[in-house]
């Protein structure tokens, strides 16, 4: 069952009379039901007060009474939330729920001094408003709690315990600053503007959910189609790169063979120039170099043969060529 925690200030929960000289040993926790109406207009049902007592007894421990519901608001933030007293027993009196209280000295003195006059129960209720069990209570004068489940607006003046509160007393408004900030509104936005902003958020959320469930086919494609298209693109890119390599290799081989046939480079130096052409911009540099080289030999049918053995010393012209190519005399002689 979904449950929620709430607090309420009822018109009959005064704990200090005009002439009281001691803190009361018994306090009223809930007025007689079944319909309970808090002073801010909220409603609950106390259909089975005996079950509330049974839940208290099953808990096996007294329930705290604190100051201004500090157990609900300060304790979760690690702040001090001392007890003012402890509810040790409960009983039904004419349909109302009463509790026996052991007050702390400090709280008893404050009650006698009328520094606190009212008790506000904190309780667990079902989603439909049925009170299930008591969680504790707080000494209060004018509650204005901040948590959504506990927030309420109360009269700025404490009512007399013997009379119902007038319905025309002014109310202390809830602090909606944080809510306005979250909605992007000015801090003083009206309730109508806040509700309108909430409705806009709901509409935007519904639109987003609908769009996610049925995406626009002009902007989105199924994942399988996307993966297949990417695979095809990768295959095409690989094939294109391979074809480009073949074309480049053919261009390099053609340029080298042209240089050999022209007598500008030795046939045995093909691999050296092929490595040069493999570098970035290498083919262009090779063509520029060939344009500056003199003819070092006429083409013959011996161009592809190894004539390295028995070579004589290089001529001055051959040394000049070897220097331009960055080759030693021995390396050049081996390729000549």
Domains of the chain by residue range: 3-172, 176-220, 223-335
Residue 262 has pLDDT above 70, yes or no: yes
The answer to whether 84 touches 103, Cβ cutoff 8 Å, is yes
SS3 189: coil
pLDDT at position 145: 33
The pTM of the full predicted model, rounded to 2 decimals, is 0.42
173 Cβ contact list (under 8 Å, min separation 6): 153
The answer to whether 28 touches 96, Cβ cutoff 8 Å, is yes
Torsion sign, CA atoms 20, 24, 29, 30: negative
pLDDT at position 217: 64
Sheet holding 118-126, edge to edge: 3-7, 118-126, 131-140, 63-67, 83-93, 96-103, 26-30
Q: How many CB atoms lie within 10 A of CB 213?
A: 7
The answer to whether 20 touches 161, Cβ cutoff 8 Å, is no
pLDDT at position 174: 53
Confidence bin at 172 (pLDDT 50/70/90)? very low
Give me the helices (H) in 41-125, please. Answer: 49-59, 70-73, 105-112
> How does pLDDT run across 5-24, given as a tens digit for each residue?
666 666 556 666 555 578 88
Q: How many CB atoms lie within 10 A of CB 24?
A: 18
Q: Which two tokens stand for residue 219?
A: 């902007």
Top mean-pLDDT range of 127-136, 182-191, 205-214: 127-136
- Cα R_g (the chain), whole angstroms: 48
């Amino acid at each position: 069952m979904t449950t929620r925690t709430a607090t309420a200030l009822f018109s009959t929960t005064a704990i200090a009379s005009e002439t009281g000289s001691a803190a009361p040993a018994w306090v009223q926790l809930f007025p007689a039901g079944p319909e309970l109406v808090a002073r801010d207009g909220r409603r609950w049902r106390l259909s089975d007060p005996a079950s509330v007592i049974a839940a208290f007894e099953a808990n096996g421990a007294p329930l705290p009474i604190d100051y201004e519901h500090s157990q609900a608001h300060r304790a979760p933030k690690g702040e001090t939330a001392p007890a003012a007293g402890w509810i040790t027993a409960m009983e039904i009196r004419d349909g109302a729920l009463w509790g026996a209280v052991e007050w702390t000295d400090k709280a008893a003195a404050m009650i006698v001094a009328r520094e606190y006059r009212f008790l506000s129960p904190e309780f667990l209720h079902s989603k439909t408003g049925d009170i299930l069990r008591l969680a504790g209570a707080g000494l209060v004068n004018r509650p204005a709690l901040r948590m959504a489940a506990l927030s309420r607006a109360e009269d700025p003046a404490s009512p007399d315990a013997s009379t119902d509160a007038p319905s025309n007393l002014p109310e202390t408004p809830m602090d909606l600053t944080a809510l306005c900030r979250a909605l992007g509104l000015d801090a003083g936005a009206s309730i109508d503007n806040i509700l309108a902003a909430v409705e806009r958020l709901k509409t935007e959320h519904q639109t987003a959910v609908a769009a996610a469930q049925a995406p626009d086919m002009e902007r989105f494609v199924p994942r399988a189609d996307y993966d297949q298209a990417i695979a095809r693109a990768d295959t095409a890119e690989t094939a294109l790169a391979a074809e480009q390599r073949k074309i480049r290799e053919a261009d390099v081989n053609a340029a080298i063979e042209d240089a050999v046939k022209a007598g500008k480079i030795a046939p045995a130096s093909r691999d050296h120039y092929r490595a040069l052409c493999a570098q970035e911009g290498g083919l262009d540099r090779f063509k520029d170099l060939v344009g500056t080289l003199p003819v070092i030999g006429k083409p013959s049918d011996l161009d592809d043969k190894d004539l390295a053995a028995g070579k004589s010393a290089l001529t001055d012209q051959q040394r000049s060529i070897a220097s331009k190519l960055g080759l030693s005399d021995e390396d050049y002689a081996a390729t000549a």
